[in-house]
Amino acid sequence: MAKVAFLGLGVMGYPMAGHLMKAGHDVTVYNRTTAKAESWVDEFGGAHEVKPRKAAAGCDFVMSCVGNDDDLRSVCLGEDGAFAGMAEGSIFVDHTTVSAKVTRELYEAAAERGIAFVDAPISGGQAGAENGVLSVMCGGDQAAYDKAEPIIDAYARICRRIGESGAGQMTKMCNQIAIAGLVQGLSEALHFAEKASLDGRAVVEVISQGAAGSWQMQNRYETMIDDHFDHGFAVDWMRKDLGICLDTADEVNASLPVTALVDQFYKDVQKLGGGRWDTSSLIKRLRAMG
């Protein structure tokens, strides 16, 4: 078993770190809010530190799941950052959804210290993290990935290396682009059913068995019909992710007209006070329109 540090104990990181502990690894955690780290230790055991550098000291692997580009830089760099505490030959695995630009920047900074850096964003939501069935898409050196994969397996249903540094983040962008269009399509279908005085549940029971079926339909249609939007991945975070997608699309000369439109629809949801609603709340916008 490995000595592992986990940095960031949000709705995803908290259970992910727990799965590492349950798998038999020696886990030390760090969280910006110390009380959260203390609660994790009370629940799972292990240890916690008040600085990323101290948490990472002596670890074979350091995993992170924080908020955005700046948060990731903060836990990695500087005299209290994880890189300063990591030994040559150790591996940093980042599960945050961030830009490919910051990923490559940190990959280079890590390499200067003899540290490997694997970008490994995740999909599957809070339930996937709690049940240990996340999809993990990775970029980085093959040798580092091969060492990290058995550790990641503690909370993954599938884990794949897609390519060099940044490829994992680019793949996560594909994931978010696909979700945006799917949720908007499902929202419009359910909204249409409501306006046409159809039984939404009966409609989905039929169409979900054909070409219209999707994970979003299977897992979100009932709560969308019931006007319940508390499933962990918030609209605010989706807009952060879609912003990354749209910025990167300009860099690689990709056209994302539907993604750009749905991003604006999520902006409308924020104006309705739904920044913390989950992403299936796009239907709230349609209902608000009458």
Radius of gyration of the chain (CA): 20
The yes-or-no answer on residue 172 being catalytic is: yes
Close Cβ partners of 61 (under 8 Å, ≥ 6 residues apart): 2, 3, 4, 5, 90, 91, 92, 93, 148, 151
Residue that has been written with the tokens 């007209």 in this structure: 257
The dihedral formed by the CA atoms of 182, 157, 96 and 28, expressed in degrees to the nearest 10: 150
CA distances from 270 to 92, 181, 284 (A): 34, 18, 11
Neighbours of 9 (CB within 10 A): 24
Catalytic residue among 36, 172, 271, 284: 172
Q: What positions carry a catalytic annotation? A: 172
